Amino acid sequence: MGSTKKIKSALISVYHKDNLDDIVKKLHDLQVKIYSTGGTKSFIEGLGVPVTSVESLTEYPSIFGGRVKTLHPKVFGGILYRRDEAKDREEAAKYAVPDIDLVIVDLYPFEATVTSGAPDADIIEKIDIGGISLIRAAAKNYKDVLIVPSKREYAPLQTLLDEKNGETNVEDRRKFATAAFNVSSHYDTAIFNYFNREQNETVFKQSFTEGMTLRYGENPHQKGFFFGDFDALFDKLNGKEVSYNNLLDIDAAVNLIADFDEPTFAILKHNNACGLATDSSLLKAWEKALAGDPVSAFGGVLISNREIDVATATEIDKLFYEVLIAPSFAPAAAALLQTKKNRILLRQKTVLTEEQQYRSVLNGLIYQDKDLSTEKPTDMTPVTAVAPTSEQLNDLAFANKIVKHSKSNTIVLAKDKQLLASGVGQTSRVDALKQAIDKAHSFGFDLNGAVMASDAFFPFPDCVEIAGKAGIKAIVQPGGSIKDKDSIDKANELSLTMVTTGIRHFKH
């Protein structure tokens, strides 16, 4: 192990003081001289532990409403001077700079203040200056100084003090320094993104301090990690570890279900809905969703926007699935579903609020606004001689929501707020339609009176003709092709109704 050093002095300046008392008492027991200021100093004094004010060390008061407290050569000199450099030791003695062997800092809660909706002036005051400077200084000089950069490191510090009685080696100090630069870089990223909300600077910065190692990536020979706070979104009630592919399907599922207000059940496979239905009865919504494709449903990800009751849970339990997501579970329903130990049950605590998305490409990434447009019946413009009925408009809006969340090229067929079939991920829109029709017929659905949704416009009238021959009576598409008239004319020829939205929903 590397050079061992005894902690003889500590500077403590923290925002969060929870669980700090045992650390302070331990330092006192180890005869460590403690420096502090402001509220932290008062907290330490309240514990009956001797503490020296930073102001008495610097012979300078805290000024400008506390904006300047620790920014002084005697503080930063005590942290930064190199103990193994003779010249540094001489200068420290000459200018009465004390050794500071341990720095404990917890920064002002900038992100929490932004999230709270506080006014700009309050947010600016939560940009920590002294604390972040102390963190960087102590981490830079980790060969001599131990840095504790946030309350998350209080427990590891307590363990270190208990096990080694105030001694640390260079490996210990470097580990804490790594945590320190993680804290400082994340903090600066949050501040930059606050100031750059309008993307005035074409710069991409993201930072996640929460993460977990996955069993593997998309395939067993690939490593996989998730960076984000999964527990902020879900309570995991049962099941094995969430996998890389589970996460992709969970993401697709929660984005899809967010577009539905009425009781709805969806079944997803490889990020696409293979079954989806809306009904006043959740049990019926489940049964209709499953009927859409009972083959693909095997091993799928299930999601509902209503509490899972016992009757619905009893039917769900008959199917092998990977993940079931709902806002809540009736106690008896949860108990029933938890009897299968590997099946993942997630209680969704909140909806996704992110309005941008990004993905890696080439040697960088692409970034865009999320597709948050969800067209209602009132957003649809009839373009054919036959006008849509109110029932058709509701079904068209239903189908168009599913199209939005399906891989392009995609066609969705629906009737009575039930997904009958879809063709997804096809290189040709005609192929997507043919796939959907064949699939609907294979599961016994009658397409007479069904509606069709397309994620993009029709460059030719062929899809309209195929749909009409299959019994489809209403079509929704974005419009915008230079040959829109050809598709409209074909719809009129077949006495179909067609509406346009002006909104394309490509998804790749």
Kindly list the catalytic residues: 140, 270
DSSP per position, 228-240: S-HHHHEEEEE-S
Q: How far is CA 474 from CA 4, 37, 440, in A?
A: 78, 72, 16
For residues 131 and 108, is the Cβ–Cβ distance under 8 A?
A: yes
For residues 151 and 17, is the Cβ–Cβ distance under 8 A?
A: no
To which H or E segment does residue 114 belong? helix 110-115
DSSP per position, 383-437: -SSSPPPHHHHHHHHHHHHHHHTSPSS-EEEEETTEEEEEE-S-SSHHHHHHHHH
Radius of gyration of the chain (CA): 31
Q: How far is CA 399 from CA 174, 239, 249, 373, in A?
A: 56, 32, 20, 14
Give the three-state DSSP class for 176: helix
The answer for residues whose C-beta is within 8 angstroms of residue 23's C-beta and 6 or more apart is 104, 154, 157, 158, 161
The pair of three-digit structure tokens given for residue 408, joined into one six-digit string: 């392009």
The pair of three-digit structure tokens given for residue 141, joined into one six-digit string: 């000089």
